Amino acid sequence: MNPLAEELNSVLEGTAAGRLLSGLGRRLFFPKGIIAQAAEAKQLAPEKNATIGMAFSRGRPLILSPVAESMPTLSPKEAVTYAPTAGFEPVRRAWKELLIQKNPSLNPACMSLPAVVPGITAGISYAADLFLDEGVPILVSDPCWENYGLIFTERRGAELRCVPFFGGPAAGETPGLNIPAIAAALREEAKTGTVRIILNFPNNPSGYSPGRAEAEALTGLIRESAEGGADVLVICDDAYFGLFYEETICRESLFAALASLHERVLAVKVDGPTKEDYVWGLRMGFLSFGSLGLGEGHYEALVKKLMGAIRSSVSCSNSPAQHLMLKVMEDPRTAGEKEAFFRLLKGRYRAVKDFIGKRGDRGPLTSLPFNSGYFMSFRCNGVDAETLRRRLLSEHGIGTIALGPDYLRVAFAALEEEQIPEIYRAIYDTADKLR
């Protein structure tokens, strides 16, 4: 093993983070090669820096006119220079400040400085690199985002253990989180001494976020596992954070409580502006670590391992995206425009909720609980979801997503509010004909 990896492992020795590392996670390090030497030269040799593979003229990077003219608010340096492996520090600090504002109970001392990753998907994949080995189980919601299978199982060889997260009238359960099923899964995993779970709220595909009592119940169950002697990894996939349409929803990320919950709990927050700030194609996200048992040196070691994963895959994240998002975070217009966009999406949510409420959960389609995010999903009873999807597409020109044979996902965020009654009527009527 590389001595730099061994040095980082020694820093993390005795912590939950160190024990939870995968084989790849233990091997990862940030090399003292080109990037590290270039960073040193940037400080000590700003006028005669011959380290990085970029071309300059009179102190400015060379830039083609079409690129410069298409990015009028960015300087050539902002538009085309390489970013540091973990991202530009002003962007990282600005995002951490936003996290603290959005999550008042979050203890800033119990989390790392967020590192920039090339999208939330990449952030989840890097977390898997660090903490998942072949055959290692990770608890996920059933249904879950289909990309979890590619990331955790196909790339890392881990085992998805699907837990029925959501209750509903069809099952004779209280709508919302199926806390008894989650508790049973966590307790069973805790018997092995290690728990790994990913929490995605607002959930894709269900569109559900926990209420305050449910959030407390979840953190209580995770504390119970830790107090029982298990090391617990919780990945918080917060891609749709903030898109909460009901007052009963817990307004903070579970990361805020988990980051200072217990020394045996390591929380990994993966988030970013992709959905929150309506910049889907910028492919920019953040990854943060949080644990009561970690200090500044531990966080530095974990971030360096993360930087090794970034450096060995994409080298660094998109520079223009980071500078554009810094401008977004600093612009006084942003809050008002985001509120207007939120009201637009909430109107679409309300239209779906009203239609389903009038139609009722009967027949071949039962809606999973939903109160947030971009999506809602139907549980298909006696009807194949893929057959329904194809029929909607061919006969009505309506695009939906089939998740296996049992679930149909509808992205109401992509629909105009006035389209919703017609589209949902067609979904129900087509399902009725297929039964």
For residue 401, the model assigns a pLDDT of 94
- Give the span between the Cα atoms of 276 and 254, in whole angstroms: 17
- Give the span between the Cα atoms of 64 and 194, in whole angstroms: 53
For residue 354, the model assigns a pLDDT of 96
SS3 146: coil
Q: How many helices (H) and strands (E) does the chain have?
A: 18, 15
SS3 101: helix
Contact 241, 272 (CB under 8 A): no
For residue 34, the model assigns a pLDDT of 63
Give me 354's structure tokens.
Answer: 């009203």
For residue 55, the model assigns a pLDDT of 56
DSSP code string of 332-355:
TTHHHHHHHHHHHHHHHHHHHHHH
- Give the span between the Cα atoms of 376 and 403, in whole angstroms: 12
Q: Which CA distances in Å does 285 have to 5, 41, 263, 296, 415?
A: 25, 28, 26, 22, 25
Taking the CA atoms of 272, 53, 28 and 304 in sequence, report the sign of the dihedral they define: negative
DSSP β-ladder status, 137-141 and 407-410: unpaired
Show pLDDT as tens, one digit a residue, over the chain (435 residues). 899 999 999 999 999 999 999 999 999 998 876 666 777 667 776 766 666 666 567 777 777 777 778 788 899 989 989 999 999 999 999 999 999 999 999 999 999 999 999 999 999 999 999 999 999 999 999 999 999 999 999 999 999 999 999 975 444 445 799 999 999 999 999 999 999 999 999 999 999 999 999 999 999 999 999 999 999 999 999 999 999 999 999 999 999 999 999 999 999 999 999 999 998 888 999 999 999 989 999 999 999 999 999 999 999 999 999 999 999 999 999 999 999 999 999 999 999 999 999 987 778 999 999 999 999 999 999 999 999 999 999 999 999 999 999 999 999 999 999 999 999 999 999 999 998
- Domains, the chain, ordered by start: 3-30+85-330 (3.40.640.10), 335-434 (3.90.1150.10)
Nearest to residue 50, comparing CAs of 30, 34, 64?
A: 34
For residue 45, the model assigns a pLDDT of 64
Please provide the distance, in angstroms rounded to a whole number, between the alpha carbons at the two ends of the chain: 59
For residue 170, the model assigns a pLDDT of 42
Q: Is the peptide bond before 180 cis (omega within 30 degrees of 0)?
A: no
Q: pTM, whole model, 2 decimals?
A: 0.93
